[in-house]
Structure 1
Amino acid sequence: MRHQLSFACEGAALAATLDEAPGTTGLLIVSGGNEVRSGAHRGMAMLAQRVAAAGHPVFRFDRRGIGDSEGTNGGYTSSGADIAAAVSAFRDAAPQVTQIVAFGNCDAASALLLHQPLALDALILANPWTYEDGDEEADEPALPPASAIRARYLARLKDPKSLLRLLKGEIDIGKLFRGLSALKQAPQPPAPDSLADQLDGMIAELPCPATILLATGDRTAQAFMDALAPSLAYLEANPSTVRIAKLASPSHSFAGGDADWLFERILEGLT
């Protein structure tokens, strides 16, 4: 059964939804961007319903200033108090829960890392956001990660139509050379104190197990993989409490058929 409720966070009333289930391990869904708790096209609401049907209670909420919640929207970097209050409210609403696993996609995944320590037993982090604030507003759009450029140009080289367009002069040569030059750049460690550097440090010091889910065709995931390449390579070669799972998909939110893969990974993280 699904219930609507509210809880307090620093003087503001936050809206939440609980999908009841008898299990003692619950899932806390933290919304990314400025999405309400139902998610894009009700994706998080449908995910919550499936997880609850599998026996795990699920708690979703709108952070301050979003959806039905009061307060000022301070973005993911200011959401630590919201998440902590949601954890407490989840335990109050579902007293049988002894363990809470938190799931976040995009900047919600980054928020779960940045705001440690939190009273959580495990994390499921999908396509973590590593772009600095304002990147998307720059006069000159940032180049995609080198891995994305490489995949794109390899695909074009295999496509006779793209080669024909090049011969006809329909492709911007300057843009082509700009893109190809990026392929020569060796992966660089995150700049000190950058968001990627902070996330890298948090992953290395996590107090609980974590699963990192990456849609390898998604630009946000590609940027994360490029920025933290040495650390991720080490984690994949040396299994630890941080596990990495990859899906060959461009879907940032694991939409369509990818929803089944996401659901399966979340169930693994809950058991």
Structure 2
Amino acid sequence: MNISEQALLFTSAGEQLPAIIARPQAMLCAGHQASAGGDNACPPGTADGHPAEAIADDRVGKERASCGVLIIVGGPQYRVGSHRQFLLLSRRLASAGYPAMRFDHRGMGDASGSMRSFEDLSADIAAAIEALQRNCPTVQRIVLWGLCDAASAALLYVQTSHDPRIAGLVLLNPWVRSEVSLAQTHIKHYYGQRLLQGEFWRKLLSGRMEVMKSLRTLFDNALLARRSRAPGNAPEKRSFQERMAEGWRQFPGELLLILSGQDYTAKEFLEFAGSDPAWAGLANASKVRRVDIADADHTFSARAQRAQVEDATLSWLGGLKGVVETNRQPPRDLSREHADE
């Protein structure tokens, strides 16, 4: 399927945010044509040089055109993504018939405003959804796609907004890090591996290792790892991890969870989700499809790993239900929050 790309600006809390929409060229998106000066404009009929994917069934094409994918950018990076990951993903999705938009949130990339935490992106996500639907009127359902803290931001958005347009979430190596979770991950995965490495023993036997310093670090991590299990340690304020779990649990749509086998963030997520009461049973819920890519690093930097992510996303999108329920309450207006910042 031929694709085109359009560059645009939209507003969130008074700031200008740039975005690129990749879409099937046949779609009539608010009467716009692809911008000739767009961000790395892709020639019609290709997706980064690969043959365009044909969609023989017009009904299937219309269903895909009704489902837009919003790629949320984590920090610190911008809408192209590490090793052009977001750019290539959006083109692959558009080639398969799904409109896809990637954008810079406030304070990141070419967007104006002050840089903000992933915990404070909900207003920008809401504004981006409005911009996508305004420019692509066929889009009724939205899938949020996020890597690392952008995956966390997606969960925080559904927890805050209860947005009925969100039909699905694609979460890659979600970020749940705290001092405690990092210590638990190091205890379980790092120290055991070090004992099996020849370099560790060579440094130890040659006297090049600061043994007391290493033991002190191990002891400190062990104390931190036990902290979450100790009674009376409930925080006064709800953590972002608890809010993520609430968003996951209450979300009525479907989730695709993609995890890297060679990534401490992914290991930390599994460790946290398997031990924290708020996360009990969430990763194994029937609405969750999990894909493990054993040799992948945090950003799926190899071409084969990137292709696996794209294939998994498209396969999952093909089975997504998520029909829009018109009788549900509209989402909270988050675009007006922080307007005075």
TM-score range, shorter chain: 0.7 to 0.9
Tell me, what secondary structure is at the counterpart of 1:45? helix
Match of 2:271 in 1: 226
Deviation of 1:223 (Å): 2.4
Q: Which residue of 1 aligns with 2:324?
A: none
**Correspondence for 2:11:** 8
Task: Quote the residue 1:138 is aligned against.
Answer: none
- CA change 1:69–1:62 in 2 (3 A) is same
The amino acid of 1:244's aligned partner reads R
Q: Which residue is equivalent to 1:65?
A: 107
Is there any run of 5+ residues in structure 2 with no aligned partner, and where? 28-63, 319-341
Shift of 1:74: 2.7
Q: Percent identity?
A: 32
Other-structure match for 1:242: 288
Superposed displacement of residue 17, structure 1:
0.3
Name which of structure 1's ranges 247-256 and 258-267 shifts more when overlaid on structure 2: 247-256
Task: Find the counterpart in structure 1 of residue 190 from structure 2.
Answer: 152
Amino acid at match of 1:127: N
How far apart are 1:186 and its partner, in Å? Answer: 5.9
Corresponding residue to 1:93 among 135, 139, 143: 135
Instruction: Spell out, residue by residue over 1:158-204, the C-alpha distance to the aligned partner (whole angstroms, 9 max, x if none).
Output: 33343232222222323443465546956946954222222222222
Residues matched between the structures, number:
262
Q: Tell me, yes or no, if the aligned pair for 1:215 and 1:221 is still in contact at 8 Å.
A: yes
Pairing 1:177-256 to 2, within 5 Å after superposition: 177-178=215-216, 180-181=218-219, 182=221, 185=225, 188=228, 191-192=234-235, 193-230=238-275, 234-235=281-282, 238-249=284-295, 251-256=297-302
The match for 2:207 is 169
Provide, for residues 128-172 of structure 1, a one-character-per-residue CA deviation record: whole Å limited to 9, x for no partner.
22235xx7xxxxxx8844344433333333333432322222223
Which structure's CA Rg is the greater one?
2
| CA pair 175-196 structure 1, distance change in 2 beyond 3 A | farther
Preserved contact between residue 29 and residue 59 of structure 1 (Cα < 8 Å): yes
Query: Which residue of the partner structure matches residue 310 of structure 2?
Result: 263
With over 3 angstroms needed to count, the CA separation of the structure-2 counterparts of 1:68 and 1:165, relative to structure 1, is closer
Contact persistence 1:211–1:269 (CA under 8 A): yes
Query: Would you say 1:20 and 2:23 are equivalent positions?
Result: yes
Counterpart residue identity of residue 22, structure 2: D
User: 1:68-87 maps to which residues of 2 (within 5 A)?
Assistant: 68-87=110-129
Say if 1:16 and 1:59, in contact at 8 Å, map to a contact too.
yes
**d(CA) in 1 for partners of 2:92 and 2:216?**
45
TM-score, scaled relative to structure 2: 0.68
Indicate the SS of the match to 1:56: coil
2:166 is paired with a residue whose SS is coil
Q: 1:36 and 2:81 equivalent?
A: no
- Tell me, yes or no, if the aligned pair for 1:4 and 1:18 is still in contact at 8 Å: yes
* Amino acid paired to 2:121: S
